[in-house]
Structure 1
Amino acid sequence: MGKTFEKLNLKSIALMGSLHRNLRTIAVAWILVMSFACGLRLAFSATDIVFGWSAVAAVAPYFLVIASPVAVLFLLLRIFPANGLFAQPEIRLARYGRWRELSCLEANGHPLFGTTGMMASLVIGMLINVPFRSIEFLMAIPALGSHPPLWFSDLFTLMAADLIVMNGLYITAFVMAIRHVPWFPRFLLLVWGVDLCSQLAIAQLVAATPNVPAAVSSALSGLLVGNLQKVLISAAIWLPYLLLSDRVNLTYRRRVRVQT
């Protein structure tokens, strides 16, 4: 059992090292793949695209879907530099257990410090969540075109805005995690809460919107239910880990468990 755990830990170390080295490559791959996917979606828009401002309005949301995660990623990598020393929050929210506070230098030198082990799964999961949600959006929601009905234009704008904002928030949580920012656990909890409230609010608006065809309503409902399920499952799995994990408490709260 000990050897298996050690092998998994070494693999997570190698995986996270590769992730750090290849963030630019990942960003370029994202731009290329999503540009192709968005172009394909636009080619089969709900109404014909006519050259002019209406075409710009149809294309602009997809440009933001592609560009905003990359912009947020590299902006936050500059805001939170590697090996930066960040102040702890003044008020502790995770109070369960008995802990001993460490200095930044003591915590950074501890063998458990960092985003390896199980923490690597959470970090990669947050990053993968962005392309998964984006592809689901492209599959479920047709492009506007130049002359969409008003109800569809409103729903599309709402769903696109939700995708862009939530992708930005998950990328923010990802950067905070890999740069060991102490606010990361509570920020991720906030993101989950925003995500849940957003999906529930959109579901109510969709239900209250008249003249929505059954096929569109079904596709939107499936997308919203899928998003809700992913958030609830993620929170159920990872919230106890964020509260109780020795690695999380050491890396983000600068403390170790007191042995009794």
Structure 2
Amino acid sequence: MKRLAARLRRALRDYGNSLFARTIPIAQFLETRMIRMALIWLCCTIPLALWKFSNTPSVIHDLGDAMPIVVGYTLVILAPCAGYWIARGAFLGERSLSQPTTRFAIFGRWRRLERGSAEINPAFGIVGFMVSLLIGLLLNVVMRTGEYFVAVPAMSAHAPEWGRTMFLMMTAEVVITSFFYMVCFVMALRKIPLFPRMLLFAWSVDILMQLHIANQLAEVGGLPASVAEPLTDLLNGNVTKVLISAAVWLPYLLLSERVNVTYRHRTAAD
């Protein structure tokens, strides 16, 4: 039994070292290649938006009729870019690296570190599972936007009330969540201490948006069954994905040595 436990510890240590080595270049790529990724994003989403616009099921007579679609798709495309650039400009200088005075992560026994001591700690940095979390934030934006373009038809000003409401609410949901998830991405990448709280806030906003959309469409009424059923599945799926993400990552954000050293400047007490 002792030999088995020793082998297991060695295997976990070797896996951790391997994961650490593999994620270093990924973290460097995320820090230096975001402009290239933004250009790829625009090259993919603009043609998709034009295709959806050309296949709208509602009538368009003039630019005024098309304005809800034009504005909505423009915001959907630009929201992740805006979240990235606004957060990148906002979180600069010493003030953004200051530790909060009140701790919400109270689990475990920790010893406070000065920032200099935290930065030279071997557990400090965006590597290992933290890189997986960063990639997950990016993929969430991509997948949520893709689902929006696939599932939500473009509705002009002449669409029925339920159609206009659905398009408005689903567009607002994608814009808001994409913006906040990209803000979380930048905060994580820049090691901003408030990142864990911001991610919890983004998850909460995401769930509340799904519930708000369901309530608004229920009040408007009139949704055809062919629209209501897949829309319900989409909203339920979004809530489920957020809850799964929170269940997977929240314990890591609370208890991980790397997260606590990097964002909370504290290490496990001896």
Q: TM-score range by the shorter chain?
A: over 0.9
The one-character-per-residue Cα deviations of 1:183-207 (angstroms, maximum 9, x if unpaired) are 1111111111121122122222223
Residue type of the alignment partner of 1:164: V
Q: Within 5 Å, which residues of 2 pair with 1:205-216? A: 205-216=216-227
Distance 1:83 1:124 in 2: 26
- Could you tell me which residue of structure 1 aligns to residue 43 of structure 2? 32
Deviations along 1:100-159, one digit per CA (max 9) or x if unpaired, are 111111111112111211111111101111110011011111001352112211121011
Whole-angstrom distance in 1 between the partners of 2:120 and 2:212: 45
Question: How much does 1:98 deviate?
Answer: 1.3
Q: Pairwise mapping of residues 67-216 of structure 1 onto structure 2 (< 5 A)?
A: 67-81=78-92, 86-216=97-227
State, as a whole percentage, how many aligned pairs show the same letter.
38
Report the secondary structure of 1:144's partner residue. Answer: coil
Gaps of 5+ in 2: 1-10
In the alignment, residue 67 of structure 2 is paired with which amino acid?
Answer: V
Q: Which piece of structure 1 moves more, 144-153 or 116-125? A: 144-153
1:224 aligns with 2:235: yes
Q: Check if 1:4 corresponds to 2:15.
A: yes
Distance in 2 (alpha carbons) for counterparts of 1:233 and 1:82 = 34
Q: Please give the TM-score of this superposition, normalised by the length of structure 2.
A: 0.91
3-state SS, counterpart of residue 97 of structure 2: coil
1:85 positional shift? 6.1
Kindly provide the CA deviation profile for residues 25-59 of structure 1, in whole angstroms up to 9, marking residues without a partner as x: 01111111011111111121121333321122221
| Amino acid in the other structure paired with 2:181 | Y
Q: Is the contact between residue 59 and residue 159 of structure 2 (CA under 8 Å) also seen in structure 1?
A: no
Aligned equivalents of 2:172, 2:119: Cα separation in 1: 38
1:84 Cα deviation after fit:
7.9
Deviations 1:53-107 (A, max 9, x none): 1122221100000012112211211222489861111101111111111111111
- For 2:256 and 2:116, how far apart are their aligned partners in 1? 20
For 2:267 and 2:189, locate their aligned partners in 1 and report how far apart those are by CA, in whole Å: 20
Distance 1:197 1:146, change over 3 A: closer
Residue segments in structure 1 that go unaligned for 5+ positions in a row: none
**Measured at CA, do residues 83 and 112 of structure 1 come closer, stay the same or move farther in structure 2, by a change above 3 Å?**
farther
Matched residues, number: 259
